[in-house]
Structure 1
């Protein structure tokens, strides 16, 4: 079925957008709680139904769903530390005591511009930097009990990921050094954040995990190895990394103890963009020690990895663990940018126990490159096994679901118009995640910074 974005928006009764995926969609749901059943029921009925316009002009949802605004940029933080920062991005949800939930939310701020994260003693890395994280504490009904700074003085906090020990790893998507753009310290690191007790983790860069344009991470729960993506959309393109911690698992100090950083080499494949066929499989993947993880003189992706070189990819973004494999996204590749080929998004699967890399899904543009078949950003698995894609593009912005059959259906649509009558514009979605019990979807609107809790008949 072919459809344009305009046609979809005009058909208020349409719940399933055109298929824009090829490959083994079932790969994306490996290891999920309901990989064998619940997702099939959802896909069979074509999503949750049409999106209904929100009278309040904030968030359009299907019938039976409702939202609560948890936090908006500019409002006072409940801690009294200052205003809620802007540029809401990646987010994780963690179980607390007595049924409570701790949300840790990234703020992708640079040195100038929107509302920065307030500096707090003991939680600030570089006072000149305006990024960081805030933490919300919610009760079982999504009432906000507390909201405070969780880390400050970091830069361009884009995505990250949860650890098996219930902390959040927030990633700086920059390589700016001290003395650049007013910064007083080097940036480009990962920081660990405890949403329940931020002072336990403080503001300590995990330098052994590398200094580069970090995007997202995923942790192998059996080994504690952390996989990391590098979001570089211009040459030199990014690498896919793994960090082998000296203390593999468990709580305080496990990552601070250091470890080894390695980059993935696929023999004979210097650029992942040239692989176009889903199911393409590469055995014997190699991991090469990074010569200088601190990138003191040369960015890691430009360092000398020996005569065999290293494997690059444009726009490496989303990353998550499922089953016995790590999945990571290349958002797009373009010949005009210097990639070896053009594509509209890939999902790769790496199986550590087999040292095998497989291209499992290719996105667009078989129907319309403006559908979620183009440029996937961060992706999220629901507790029942569905896949959610946060849209980041032109025009109306959606959270889309994808069934195992490849059906694409709208879950939410942003209704906050930040443009003009002549040129309407909507902020992208980011940070989609679920409560530990699966009853609530939490999602951010990047601009204006808004955090929603969405409840309804999730399955």
Structure 2
């Protein structure tokens, strides 16, 4: 997700690493990632992207989009304007063919358009972030749009629960008294898209206070896995939360539980592992000394003489089949990582306690093409993955077939720079409707939510 630093451009990083001219390198056992039954797409995916005459979203021929919501427009609820910085998102089945979309807004204390404060749904009146919920009818028309939670901060990603709610994550560690906040931040909150007042604005404190990114829930065991997007050293950790009520259900996570961090013996930094298929059979889980990080951020706490395993830019996280998958968007040795890579996907199997490096992305010689810095990620309806790119230059949603072929699915055409120096906002929140016929995705800046339909089953 977006952060506040000014990173080196992709081309500068490639030049330092000697990778210019190498072409796309994409290796790994793709078949391990997919649980769908559709056949793999051909070499060219759905075909080349067709320039959009409206200048919003380029798609392959046969696909079309609908703009569901744009920042600054009035919310249908009358509660204020659609907030800025559209980020993580999920779609849930509603009654009578309806779909509920829950959408994050990664606003800091200086967000352009904050999430409006609403009585009963506001955690900290000084927080500018939160979530909005859209309701779509059976034809895909927006029939409702309202605040789902307000007064939170830097709501980056999150994840759906098996019981149909959204876990929204704060990517900050700011405490009360910092940046004007009146309460501590860095928590996970549960949001009910169908009726936000059922969930309220209650922090799930036992799940830890840190720079949260994404979560994924084991539907059988009830364990919640969490990524930490700490882009400055010491880097983030990969966590699991063992709930006191593993049977789940709305509000069950409020009952507390144990927070643990992953230790891979002999591997203090995941970036040091570069070979796909590398497997570690003795993954350990260590209790977090102070989940609320009252004095010390969790990643800096004392985990004993054997230490803990860190990784730069831990972002996307999802459950597939019997395993949890998580993404490291990139690692740069110049920023303190043990080695440089342009994106990894890891798989953890709880039954065997085995961790495997499944995918390695990049590098890419052309900043106008997809192929590095994976971020939000989801299983695609036609087989394979859909991945939001968060790199430099043009921004894409790109697909990955079962054969490991990378193809462009969408390109953002909204120039937020100048004609001489164009810039494009990243994509975020890619997700599919419950019937798999529609892809929903956000453009971060300017905040825009799209619904994409077409021949997904080709």
Q: What interval of TM-score do these two structures reach, taking the shorter chain for normalisation? A: over 0.9
Residue number in structure 1 paired with 2:30: 25
Q: Are 2:159 and 1:161 equivalent residues in the alignment?
A: yes
1:293 aligned residue (287, 291, 305): 291
Q: Is the deviation greater in 160-169 or in 416-425?
A: 416-425
Residue number in structure 2 paired with 1:191: 189
TM-score w.r.t. length of structure 2:
0.93
Provide Cα deviations, 1:96-132, integer angstroms capped at 9, x if missing partner.
Answer: 0000000000000011131000000000000001000
Question: How much does 1:26 deviate?
Answer: 1.6
Residue number in structure 2 paired with 1:10: none
Q: Classify 1:369/1:425 alpha carbon distance in 2 versus 1 (closer, same or farther; 3 Å).
A: closer
| Counterpart secondary structure, 1:128 | coil
2:200 aligned residue (185, 199, 202): 202
Whether the 8 Å CA contact 2:24–2:363 is kept in 1: the answer is: no
Whether the 8 Å CA contact 1:51–1:63 is kept in 2: the answer is: yes
**Partner Cα separation in structure 2 for residue 259 and residue 158 of structure 1:** 23
Q: Are 2:311 and 1:306 equivalent residues in the alignment?
A: no
Question: How much does 1:252 deviate?
Answer: 2.5
Q: Classify 1:33/1:392 alpha carbon distance in 2 versus 1 (closer, same or farther; 3 Å).
A: same
| Counterpart secondary structure, 2:452 | strand
- 5+ residue gaps, structure 1, are 7-17
Q: Is the deviation greater in 386-395 or in 429-438?
A: 386-395
**Partner Cα separation in structure 1 for residue 414 and residue 440 of structure 2:** 17
Question: How much does 1:193 deviate?
Answer: 0.2
Q: Are 2:393 and 1:389 equivalent residues in the alignment?
A: no
Whether the 8 Å CA contact 1:215–1:230 is kept in 2: the answer is: yes
Q: Are 2:46 and 1:39 equivalent residues in the alignment?
A: no
Question: How much does 1:374 deviate?
Answer: 2.0
Question: How much does 1:28 deviate?
Answer: 2.0
Whether the 8 Å CA contact 2:263–2:283 is kept in 1: the answer is: yes
Q: Is the deviation greater in 338-347 or in 226-235?
A: 338-347
**Partner Cα separation in structure 1 for residue 300 and residue 39 of structure 2:** 42
Residue number in structure 1 paired with 2:19: none
Residue number in structure 1 paired with 2:63: 65
Question: How much does 1:415 deviate?
Answer: 1.3
Residue number in structure 2 paired with 1:328: 326
Question: How much does 1:343 deviate?
Answer: 1.3
Residue number in structure 2 paired with 1:455: 453
TM-score w.r.t. length of structure 1:
0.93
Residue number in structure 1 paired with 2:146: 148
- The aligned runs of 1:26-175 (5 Å cut-off) are 26-29=31-34, 32-34=35-37, 38-40=38-40, 42=41, 44=42, 46-175=44-173
Aligned residue pairs: how many? 437
- 5+ residue gaps, structure 2, are 1-9, 12-22
**Partner Cα separation in structure 2 for residue 267 and residue 370 of structure 1:** 39
| Counterpart secondary structure, 1:91 | strand
Whether the 8 Å CA contact 2:186–2:209 is kept in 1: the answer is: yes
What do you get for the CA RMSD once the two structures are aligned?
A: 1.5
Whether the 8 Å CA contact 2:132–2:149 is kept in 1: the answer is: yes
**Partner Cα separation in structure 2 for residue 307 and residue 399 of structure 1:** 42
**Partner Cα separation in structure 2 for residue 162 and residue 273 of structure 1:** 28
Whether the 8 Å CA contact 2:190–2:251 is kept in 1: the answer is: no
Q: Classify 1:366/1:58 alpha carbon distance in 2 versus 1 (closer, same or farther; 3 Å).
A: closer
Residue number in structure 2 paired with 1:12: none
